[in-house]
Structures are given as C-alpha cells and as structure tokens.
Structure 1
Amino acid sequence: MSFKTFACSIFMLIMTSCSSQLSSDAQIDRSKVDRPVWLEDGDASYVGRISSDNNSRLFDIFEQNIFKTLHISSPGGSVEDGIALGKWVWQNDIEVHIDGICASSCANYVLPAAKKVYLSSNSVLLWHGSSYQPDVSKAVINREPFAVRWRKAENEFFTLTGISPMPTVCGFDDVSIWDKSLNWLGLSEIAGFNYPFEDLRRFGLNNMVLPTDGWKRKEEYMNKKIIEAHYCSNTSWDFE
C-alpha cells in the first residue's frame, strides 16, 4: 500500500474514510469554481481539495504577487500535499482565514502552521486521524514502509511548527460504543471529531482568533455527526 493511498486517515469500522466522506464540496459556495485558487484584492483564496496542482497555482501566485492572507475552505487532500501546503504557510508567515470547512489535511497541517487562524462564525473544523491513529501506529511499529514514511513526514512537520499531533487522534477515544454501533449500522454516520475552543488552546493552538460574533463547534457536516472530542496527552493505544 502506497503512502499516497493513505492521504485520508481511516476510522476503521468506526468512521468512513475521508476519501468518500469528504470528497464532495457541493455545499461550499464556489463562485469561482473554474479557479480553485485565485488572488483578489491582495488576498489569496483556496477552495476545494488540497492537491499538488492547486498548491502549485498558489505558490506561483505568491511568486508573482506576494500576499500574507490566505482564505481557505477545504475538505482536505493527500497527506503529502497537505504537509507541503502547511510547510509553505509556516515558512511564509501566512495568516489563514477559515471561510467554510477545514478538514483532514487542512486541519492537520494548514491550521497549526498559520501565523494566525481567523475563524468565521460558520467555520467547520474536522479531524479524523493521522499516522498516529491506532491502525497506522501498529503499522509503524511493524515497520511497514508506507506507515514509516508517513510518520517521518508528520514528525518533521510537527517538530517544525512546535504543535502537538494529538488533536489529530484524541477523538478516537471519545467515540462512544453507542455512536460506533449507530455508525456501523449506517443509522448515524460519523464524519470525524472536533474540539471546544478551550481544548484547542490546551493543545497549543494559540494562533486561533474567534470572530466578533462568536464561534461554536459544529455538531454535523453533510448530515453526518461530528463527535465532540476533548484534550488528551496520551491515548489508549501505543505509538512510537
């Protein structure tokens, strides 16, 4: 199994994979659907899946017109492209505005890398795993190549930003037996998990700025449940 294939973290039988869960951004207002990445009034916008092509468009725009603000609404994308975008945001001191959803690789890598993260009142933040999740952690311990490469890339990223990787996985231990059962039966699917603002601060995400009209963690995305997770410093499974 390739590293690229594991771009979307898997919730095993608990949660559906992000490749099917979050691939559609039909609910996002894409007035510039023909231009997923563009520059307007000195700010850049990035709407849709994180990909090497979209990253290249963004980086090219920056080379021609240096900007410091990025508006993003993304359901995520591959691990490699997410980490590349996150590193670029970090290295260029970019301020990020979450205008819609920031999930998967966006939440894992773009959010912690930003100089500042400005939430809108309707921002949706959504995590559902990383190389530290149970199945991949086991694969790392067993020295499976794809898992080892993913873990190495994430370790380098989180060391660079100084942010804990724990927000990407604490939610696994917060899924109740009831929610697991309903998800398994297809009666109430789970999209992933998120955290109260205070818990995000405890993880070290001190770059986040709340909107003046307030922000509340969302409980659903595309009619699928978002589990309320909480801060943790360790998990019920072992990882290196």
Structure 2
Amino acid sequence: MINPFLLQKKNLKKVIKIFISVSSIFISSGVLPASQKIDIQDERVLNNPPEIVKKGDVLYFDGQITNEAYVLFLKEIGNSRIKTVSVNSIGGDVENALSIASYIKKNNMDIEVRSVCASACANYLFVAGNRKLINNDSYILWHGGANGPEQEVEISGDITRAEFFRLESVQQIKKKEALFYKEAGVRNEICYCPQLKNNYHDTFPEKWFSYSPEDMNRFGIKNISFAITPSQWLMSMRKKHVIFAHYCNQEK
C-alpha cells in the first residue's frame, strides 16, 4: 500500500512554476469505504522523473509531469513519427503539460489513457488528443484549472494570495491556458465547473471529479472512444468512488 500522495510546494519559485498542479490523490491496494477515497493501484503514476518510452509509433508516458518533462518528451520522440501518446499520469507542472499538449495537438497525435490521467494531464494532454481512447477502468480526473476560482488554488511561500495572482508569470500561465482551450474548441470550465458551486467541498470531499462522455462532448471534447462501452466505463468509475460533475456554462 502507498500512503496518500501530496505534492508539496516548498518554495515560491516552485509555486509559480507548478501553479495548478497535483493536489492529492490516493493510491491504495484496497477500497477505503469510510472516506470513499478514489482507489488507484498503479504506482507508476508517481514516477519522478516520468518514465517515457517509445515503442514503434506509440510513446508511453508514466509518471508526473515534471518541470523537465517536455524536454524528456521531445528527446524520446527524436525524429520518430509518433501516432499515439499513451499516458498514465497524475499531472504536475502546468507549463510543461501545456507544451506537451500543444505538441500533441499540432502533430495530430492520438491520446490513450492507459490507467490514470489526472490534473494537468486531464486538463491539457487528454484535451489535445486527436482521438481519445479510454481503456478499461481508466481514470479521467479533474480538480481545477489556472482560470478557475482563485480560492481553490493552493499557495505556499512568503507571498499573499493577492500578490500571487498579480505575478506576471501567473498571468502568463492563465493566458496560455485560455488560448489552448480556445484553439482546441473546448470550454475551459471543464477544469473547474463544480468549483463554482457553494456545495463543491461537500459534494466532492476529495476534490477530484470526472464527467460522463455526454458532458465531455458538451464541453467540446470530441472523438472519445472506449475499450468497453461508455455506460460500462461509468459504472466502473462509480464503483471506484469517482464522483461525476455536470456540464456548466459560466456565460449563462
């Protein structure tokens, strides 16, 4: 069994670099019924640095999206023609995730969620894929975005919340995220819709949430396919304590 994982932001530079990153995700060898924690058993999601391996026209990415992940990603691809990026990640650094996602989108690559795609992986890599394959029992988990409610962003270091959100580096990340979603044709509320409601913390005590295929489509995420049927995937996720949010449009 692995203890609950929490990525701590230990200094201001790291806070700025990561911004909306990994909050906490529970990986367990068994179900924890008292708190209904999400039950993930694949330890590779914690790899740091990530393990990136190329096999034929598929690039396998296992682990955290670290502040060197984009460089490692490009190095492993080299001159190869990659058709699919197969991910297993709890997320991590936003800037690196956005860079990887932009590369995936620009090169018309497919994305396969092998086991877990959470946080920055769900926000950007999953959205960027041309075709999106969700395997049996694969998790797609959101818990906030750069343009979501400011009160949901964890901040540490010798800086106030107001000062943090005035930082030029933070403003640039927010702009990059907004542009990414605009170019992808996806509403960025997908990252934070339930956070707009007063009952968010009561409804989502672990802060993680997912969406049904129908709601993903309403946000603009297209070309999703499942190794099993969509209804079977939904049933599987609910048995694993994933709580599903619903589509919202902030402009309405």
Do they fold alike, i.e. is TM over 0.5? yes
Which amino acid letter does the alignment assign opposite residue 245 of structure 2? A
- CA separation of 1:109 and 1:227: change in aligned 2, threshold 3 A: same
Structure 1 residue 102: deviation in Å? Answer: 0.5
Q: The residue matched to 2:233 in structure 1 has which SS?
A: coil
- CA separation of 1:107 and 1:72: change in aligned 2, threshold 3 A: same
1:11 corresponds to: none
1:216 corresponds to: 234
**1:62-141 maps to which residues of 2 (within 5 A)?**
62-135=77-150
2:220 corresponds to: 204
1:13 corresponds to: none
Counterparts of 1:72 and 1:162, CA distance in 2: 22
Counterparts of 1:161 and 1:178, CA distance in 2: 29
Q: The residue matched to 2:112 in structure 1 has which SS?
A: strand
Q: Say whether the 8 Å CA contact 1:158–1:165 is kept in structure 2.
A: yes
Query: Which structure has the higher relative contact order (CA within 8 Å, separation 6+)?
Result: 1
Counterparts of 1:192 and 1:7, CA distance in 2: 13
> Which deviates more from structure 2 when the two are superposed, residues 211-220 or residues 44-53?
211-220
Q: Say whether the 8 Å CA contact 2:210–2:244 is kept in structure 1.
A: yes
* TM-score normalised over the length of structure 1: 0.76
RMSD: 3.2
**Aligned residues, how many?**
214
- CA separation of 1:228 and 1:23: change in aligned 2, threshold 3 A: closer
Q: The residue matched to 1:227 in structure 2 has which SS?
A: coil
Structure 1 residue 176: deviation in Å? Answer: 3.3
Whether 1:3 and 2:6 are equivalent positions in the alignment is no
Q: Say whether the 8 Å CA contact 1:191–1:226 is kept in structure 2.
A: no
Q: Say whether the 8 Å CA contact 1:23–1:49 is kept in structure 2.
A: no
Structure 1 residue 80: deviation in Å? Answer: 0.5
2:33 corresponds to: none
**1:1-240 maps to which residues of 2 (within 5 A)?**
1=12, 2-8=15-21, 18-19=22-23, 21-22=24-25, 27-28=41-42, 30=44, 36-135=51-150, 143-173=166-196, 176=199, 179=202, 189-213=205-229, 214-216=232-234, 218-219=237-238, 226-234=242-250
- CA separation of 1:178 and 1:88: change in aligned 2, threshold 3 A: closer
Identity %: 24
Counterparts of 2:224 and 2:59, CA distance in 1: 19
Which amino acid letter does the alignment assign opposite residue 27 of structure 1? Q
Counterparts of 2:141 and 2:176, CA distance in 1: 21
Counterparts of 2:43 and 2:206, CA distance in 1: 23
Structure 1 residue 147: deviation in Å? Answer: 3.5
Which amino acid letter does the alignment assign opposite residue 17 of structure 2? K
Structure 1 segments unaligned to the other structure (5+ residues): 9-17, 184-188
